[in-house]
Amino acid sequence: MFPVIYSDEFLAHDTGRYHPERSERLTAIVEALKTVTWANKLDWQLPTPVPNRDVMPYIQKVHTRAYIDKVRQIAESGGGLLDLDTPVCPRSYDLALLAVSAWLDGVDKVLATNNPAFVLARPPGHHAERERGMGFCLFSNAAIAAYYALEQPGVNRVAILDWDVHHGNGTEAIVETNPNIIYCSLHQSPCYPGTGRASDRGKHNNVLNIPMAPGSTFESYQPAFENLVVPFLSDFQPNILIVSAGYDANSDDPLAEIALQPKDYGSFTDYLLKITRRILFGLEGGYALRALSQSVVATIEKCLL
């Protein structure tokens, strides 16, 4: 059985009428996963409700109290904007906490089973910095999950791979000071948010940025995986691999100009499974609904083989 951690509650993070990061993204993925021939192999799990799991100590490891309070206050006051792209609705704060709980559940699941799991939650996280949210992201789910994982028995090394088409500026800035975490990102360059130069290697040589030119296809991603991503991740021998799984590098995606196909994410997953089966996939971006849902299907399908 393959664990998928998901709640319909995540649909209530309301970003407004024309926002690309909308609830239909999750609905499309759930719909696709319920209609695959192997749907009976999916183990749908609700995230631990926040009153039952105190996520705050982990969030406070990577975000300032002032920033956390700011998000809560905007939500409590009826909603508003963290930046022009990043709306907070009245329920967004609670749902961002629930999303963190889902990612932490994912870590628990992967460590308990030595097998992959997928977190289908929103809001996404990889652009959120220590003191500010941006780019549709409220809290840095992947970084919080990484710090949480390091507190679990037998976990000394955590790897994060970010294949969202955008550079995870927030994740990198948060984890680059920790020698027990490595961060690797493939992202379109030039593109939002403008960070992620190949020369940025982190404070402990623990960052690997791989900028990809607009128009890139699997032809250029394949050697990047084989020559850069796989050696970087496997040399580190991570106890768990967290994937910031954004699917906006698809050719159909409206937010960027990379030209991957959904099945290419299955190929990426194959590379990772040769490194470890302890992989937590967590949803980041991906805005073309059909390509997004097919890509999640391709990712999970490889984990079942």
**Does 246 help bind Zn ion (rule: CB under 5 A)?**
yes
CA nearest 287: which of 12, 15, 8, 2? 15
Q: Which is nearer to Zn ion, 111 or 212 (CB)?
A: 212
Tell which positions 38-77 bind Zn ion, by CB under 5 A: none
Interface segment toward Zn ion; rule CB under 5 A; list 94-102, 150-158, 240-248, 289-297: 240-248
Cα(279)–Cα(220) distance, rounded to whole angstroms?
24
Q: Binding string to Zn ion for residues 264 to 303, with x set by CB under 5 A, is what?
A: ---------------------x------------------
Residues in binding contact with Zn ion, number by CB under 5 A: 5
Least distance from Zn ion to the Cβ atom of residue 292, Å: 11
CB 291 within 8 A of CB 252: yes
Report yes or no: 295 and 267 within 8 Å, Cβ to Cβ.
Answer: no
Q: In 10 A of CB 289, how many CB atoms?
A: 17
- Least distance CB 136 / Zn ion (angstroms): 8
Query: Is 13 assigned a catalytic role?
Result: no
CB within 8 A of 189, min separation 6: which ones?
Answer: 167, 196, 197, 211, 212, 213
Distance (Å, whole) CA 115 – CA 136: 29
- Closer to Zn ion by CB, 170 or 246: give it: 246
Residues linked to residue 283 through DSSP beta bridges, in sequence order: 245
From CA 285, how far away is CA 294, in angstroms rounded? 14
Q: Which of 127, 166, 167, 187 is catalytic?
A: 127
Q: Which residue number, 109 or 166, has a Cβ lying nearer to Zn ion?
A: 166
Q: CB under 8 Å to 129, separation ≥6 — which residues?
A: 140, 169, 170, 173, 174
How far is it, in rounded angstroms, from Cα 244 to Cα 124?
9
Nearer to Zn ion, 166 or 278 (CB): 166
Kindly report the backbone phi and psi dihedral angles of residue 112, in degrees, each rounded to the nearest multiple of 5, phi listed first: -75, -30
In this complex, which beta carbon is closest to Zn ion, that of residue 101 or of residue 171?
Answer: 171
Binders of Zn ion among 115-134, rule CB under 5 A?
none
**Nearest distance, CB of residue 165 and Zn ion, angstroms:** 5
Task: Tell me the one-letter amino acid at 6.
Answer: Y
Q: Shortest distance, CB of residue 210 to Zn ion, whole angstroms?
A: 15
Residue 31 and residue 70 in contact, taking contact as beta carbons nearer than 8 Å? no
**Interacting residue ranges for Zn ion, rule: CB under 5 A:** 164, 166, 246, 248, 285
Catalytic residue ranges = 127
